[in-house]
Amino acid sequence: MQFEPVQEIKNLKTLQTFFHSNSSKFRRCLSFFLSFLFEHMVLYARSWKNFSRDFAARRMMSKVVLFLAFVVAGIVWASMIRIALYSDTWACQSPLSCFSVIWSSSCSKTSNFPDKMRGYAPKPRKRCPIPFAKDPEGLDHSNVRRTPDQLVKGLSYIMEDEPDVNNGWQSLLPFGGGGQKRWFERGESFKLNTTMKVKVHCGFTRSSGAGMTVADMRYVKGCKYVVASGIFNPYSIIHQPTNVSVHSRKLFCFVMLVDEKILSLMKYRETVEEDIHGGLWAGIWRLIPLKHLPYNETRRNEEISKLLIHRLIPQAQYSIWVSSKMVLVADPLLILERYLWREGHSFAISQHGYRHSIYEEAYASKRRKKYSRPRIDTQMRVYQSEGLEPWSTKKRVISDVPEASIIIREHTMMNNLFSCLWFNEVHLFTPLDQLSFGYVAHRLGGESFKYFMFPFCEFNSLFELHSHSWDRFEMRFGGEINVA
C-alpha cells in the first residue's frame, strides 16, 4: 500500500514550534526516569548490607537494577534517534514530510528509507508545455533552408593509417594508426579562421573502426533525417517512441546502433525481425550492429553512436540522438521545427537540471562514483590550466553543463567539427561527456560555435525516463546464456 506524501510545511516558525513542544515532553519524561533511577540506586546502596544476607532480596534488587539499566539504555537510544530525526527534518524544512517518508518506507517494500533521509529520493520531474506546431503533417520541410557554412568551408577526416612513431606522440584515438596524434595538434585543432579547410582526427580510418554490413550501408545512404540511439550494455531494452506521425515514420530513419553481442541477446529474446534485404528490425527501429568496436567499456562505445553520427551516417542532414533509457514521446519533425528551424538554430541541447559549472559536475561525478576520481581530477586540472573558468552569470552561455541525453543537430561543417573534437576529449579523458562539452564550446568560441540550450523542464516533457532495466540474464532465464 502506498501513501501520498504529506504536503511540506515551509514555515520555519512552525517547525520550531513543533520541536519545542515535543522537546518539553521529552525533558519531562527524562527527568522523571532519572529521578526514579537515582532514588532506587540510593535505596539500594543503603540497604546492601541488610540485603546481602538475604538471597531472595538480593536477587530481587538485581532484577530492579537490570530493569533500570534497560530503561536508561532505552532513553539514550530514543534520544539518539530524536537527534537524528531533528537534523533530517530540519534539512527537509518540514517534520510532517519527513515523517511521511518514514511511514511510506515502512509500508513499501521497494522504498529505501536511508537514501530518502539523506536527500537522494527521486523527486517528481518538473515538466512544462512545449510550444510545438499543431500538426506535423502540415509542416513542409522541403522549404527549410540549410544553415550556410560560413567559417569552416570544408571538413575532411584523417582516413589513412599513420606510422606508429613514439617520440612525443600521444595516442588520442585508438582506431588504428590514424589514432596517433601529437599533443600540440589537439590545441591546433581548436584554432579557426575564415578560410580554413579542416582535416581532423575523428574516430576511425578506413582499416579500423565501426564497420557495418553491406545491407546496413545501403540502408543508411538513403537517410537524411535520423533519430538515433545506441545499446551497448545488457541492462537496457529497446523503447519504442510514441506519438510519431505517419509523415515522420516515412521521413525519418530510426536507427538503433548495437554491438554484436547485444544483437545476439536481442535475437534470443525474439524481438528481432529480418526483412527481405537482410535488414534487422525491432519495431520502428532499424538495428545496425557495429563491428570492431575499440573499447572494452560500454560507455565509451556508446559515445561512438552518440557523437559520430555524422561519420556513421554521412548522408544525414539532421539527426536527433536519444539515450537508450529514454522513451521519445514527441514527434521528431515537431522537435526539429521547435528547436532548430523556428529560430534558426543548428545545434540544440538541454540544460542540466541542477548544475551549471563543469567543476561542480566533476565533484558530483566523483561523489557518486561515476568514474575514476584520479582521471576526473586530471581532466579538470587540464581544463583549468587551459583557461576554462567556472561558470558564472557573467558568462554569455546559459550553462557549461548539458543534459546530454538528447542532442538535436543539423549536420553542418561546424557542428561536425564540434562533434569530432568533443569525441576526442571523451576518448582522451573520461566517457563523461558532460564534463567536456563546455570545454570544447569554450575553445571554439561563442561566436564560432553557437548552440541553443533549452530549459530542463522541456527536456522532461520530451521523454519518459526508464532506468536500465535488464536484469542479469542468469536471473531472468534461470540459467547462464552462452552468447558467442
DSSP state of 229: E
- Tens-digit pLDDT profile for residues 273-305: 989 988 999 999 999 999 888 888 888 889 999
Q: State the DSSP H helix or E strand holding residue 390, giving kind and residue range, or none if neither.
A: none
Task: Judge whether residue 170 has pLDDT over 80.
Answer: no
Query: What is the 3 state secondary structure string of 110-151?
Result: CCCHHHHHCCCCCCCCCCCCCCCCCCHHHCCHHHCCCCCCCC
**What cell was used for 77?**
537510544
- Whole-number Cα distances in Å, 32 to 63, 70, 128, 174: 20, 15, 56, 74
- Tens-digit pLDDT profile for residues 106-162: 333 333 444 444 444 455 678 899 999 888 888 888 888 898 888 887 888 876 655
Q: How confident is the model at residue 220 (pLDDT cuts 50, 70, 90)?
A: very high
DSSP state of 211: B
Q: How confident is the model at residue 256 (pLDDT cuts 50, 70, 90)?
A: very high
pLDDT given at position 104: 41
Angstrom distance (rounded) from CA 150 to CA 157: 19
**What cell was used for 127?**
515538466
